[in-house]
Chains A and B, each alone.
Chain A
Amino acid sequence: MFRCVLTAAGLVLFACSTAAHAQKQTIGAPPEASNMKLVGASDLQARSAYQPTIHHQGDRWIAYIGHHGGTDDVPAPVNPMTGQAEPNGTSIVDVTDPARPKYLRHLPGQEGKYESGGAQMVRICDGKSLPKGDPNAVYMLRTFGSQAHEIWNVADPASPVLVTRIDGLKDTHKSWWECDTGIAFLVSGAPDWRTRRMTQVYDLSDPAHPQKIRDFGLPGQEPGSTGAVPTELHGPISTGPQGNRVYFGYGTNKGGILQIVDRDKLLNGPKEPTPDNLRYPEISRMPMSAFNGAHTTFPMLDMPVAEFAEDKDGKTRDIVMIVDEAILNECGEARQMVWFADVTTETRPMMISSYTVPEASGQFCRRGGRFGSHSANESMAPVYYKKMAFIAFFNAGVRALDIRDPYHPKEVGYFVPSITSATDKRCIPIEGGERCKVAIQTNNVETDDRGYVYIVDRANTGLHILELTGPARAAAGLPKT
């Protein structure tokens, strides 16, 4: 009997120590990983990171990484290449050899802290693909804090040259740029609109001479309207003239909306921002739960679903993956996660499945910082498109999902980077003050055509370049390493 008690006590102690270990990251501890392996890393000068875009540029691969503004403690980190304190902007990193990323240039952004500064968003188009671009140029479209969009020529990525600027805004965010047409859907805050973020459609086919096409948003957001103001835009993704659809995601962690828009009607329809004109290009709108927002709305059209292969109709489905963004530390909100909507019948979109990291698998609500989804890779390169999705999940790192059956998405790998001395704390208010913890905050993820996975950290830990291994690699159809 006594022996049983001792055994039980030992088990309890073991369980407690395991739990304590699982909920706290420590400097020097190895990363947590399953079917994903670290290839290389860059500290990104300890700047809080948002969108990475990886571009095949000549015979090189260049990563362009947007940054949020600085922190209260370090508003403008020192760039060791210049010795100067520089407001966070864009990091440009040569990742041709992913095991040895080479930091080329930090291009400062707008002064300001957190989301009030920096240069969060970045997209790249080759001049030779744009209808009126300089064929020798490579263009980087980036936000400049909340006040502008900028286009730089990064043909020499170490020496960017400013081409043009679209200024006078009250906010910016996650824009989309079609490289074959030059049409850009810029997430902006036009000063007279009632919402912080809406869409400005531009023709950037000649990046030196931007042509505005129209302003767009949900009725109720336009200038002069009254009454309730619909949820603000987070970001659009276009399928271009061939697909003729733009998928708009509204909301962050609440009141999300997926809006499906006819691209041709949007570009060529009546442009005055009246309620009727704003409704004209809309095909449908799917309101989500008030608990969840829509950070990313990633279309995957005409997906064959193996389970439906023998059915007379509906063998292929049009799917939109919707990723919410968690914004509160230590689970201070409803769970933000990943949703799959079947939009095959476009006027009747329907949510068909969801995915979240099981909280208990890492006691993530107690680790510190945000836990929940933020964003997905947005590359449509064949290597992963419609097969594998990568989700940035803050303190649960990046998650690799097998999405070949979008009705049953399945996690097949993950990677939670180690924290470093650069990793910034995350705090919550408590009685008489605040309590802070340090944890990884994987904020964004992107893939390149070679299959490498790039994750960046909101809490200043930098860039980690990963590759799939084992069954996850096989699920993606990649050759064995």
Chain B
Amino acid sequence: MRRGAAIAAVVFALGASGVGAYQLAPAPAEETARWREIAWPFPRDGWSAGRAFRCDGACAGAELYLRAKRGFCNCDRGVADDDEVDRVADIDLISPRFAAVAPGEEVGIGAMHGRARRYDLDMPDGARHAAIGIAVSRRCDLFVAATQGRGEAGVMQRAALAFLETQEIKTWVMAALDGK
């Protein structure tokens, strides 16, 4: 009996510590990624500059670039296909040498819908990075995001999409699409 109680106590203690360990363990990337704003790193082009962030959390080192693109001809069809993501998602700002690694997938940010696609990037310094391009539309306007880094693409994509769903970013996106 005493032996059984001792075993139960050990099991309970281990279980409890297990629960504690689970609670203390790093949460999934989207919960622990911390995006710190940095300067917009690209030279002026035809679109207004956006906002840029660097990840300090689970996706450490990854960078995320966001901007509104007002004036998009596919008012009705929206971001219709993966080629559209290749063209508009600002991946070419990071490096003009990129190749999609797979077909894209549908994504939504708030009420906007579009597509996301993963790429391999040849960086100017010769390094290979993973990148994700995201493009969603609101009527005749686009919102695009591009994230890139040395990390695993899936982790970066989840972290980026979770960040895009934060109220702060959604509020800014709407304002940017309204031209403010």
Residues on A lying within 8 angstroms of B by beta carbon are: 112-116, 194-196, 226-229, 232, 252-255, 289-291, 327-328, 332-334, 428-431
Contact = CB atoms under 8 A, between A and B. Distances in A.
Contact of B179 (A194, A253, A332): A332
Given A116-B77, A253-B71, A332-B71, A195 B179 contact: no
Given A114-B75, A254-B47, 19 more contacts: A115-B74, A116-B74, A116-B76, A194-B83, A194-B86, A194-B87, A195-B83, A195-B87, A226-B98, A226-B99, A228-B91, A252-B73, A255-B45, A290-B45, A327-B71, A328-B71, A332-B70, A428-B179, A431-B178
B178 A112 contact: no
A226 B120 CA distance: 10
A113 B71 CA distance: 16
A229 B86 contact: yes
Nearest to B97: A227
Nearest to B83: A194
5 contacts: A114-B76, A115-B75, A196-B83, A227-B97, A232-B87
Interface in B133-180: 177-179
Contacts of B75: 113-116
A115 B77 CA distance: 10
A198 to B, nearest CB: 12
Nearest to A117: B76
The B interface, classified by DSSP as helix, strand, loop or mixed, is loop
B83 A254 contact: no
Contacts, number: 70
B100 interface: yes
B46 interface: yes
Interface residues of B, number: 25
Nearest to A252: B73
Contacts of A428: 179
Interface of B: 44-47, 70-71, 73-77, 83-84, 86-87, 91-92, 96-100, 177-179
A115 B46 CA distance: 22
A228 B96 contact: yes
A335 to B, nearest CB: 13
A226 B83 contact: no
A341 B84 CA distance: 31
B59 to A, nearest CB: 25
B44 A227 contact: no
Nearest to B82: A194
Given A252-B73, A333-B71, A227 B178 contact: no
Q: Which 5 A-B pairs give the minimum distances between C-beta atoms? A: A254-B46, A228-B92, A290-B46, A226-B99, A228-B96
Contacts of A429: 177-179
Contacts of B179: 332, 428-429
Contacts of A227: 92, 96-99
Nearest to B92: A228
Given A227-B97, A228-B96, A332-B179, A113 B76 contact: yes
A229 B83 contact: yes
Contacts of A226: 97-100
Contacts of B177: 429
B106 to A, nearest CB: 18
Contacts of A194: 83, 86-87
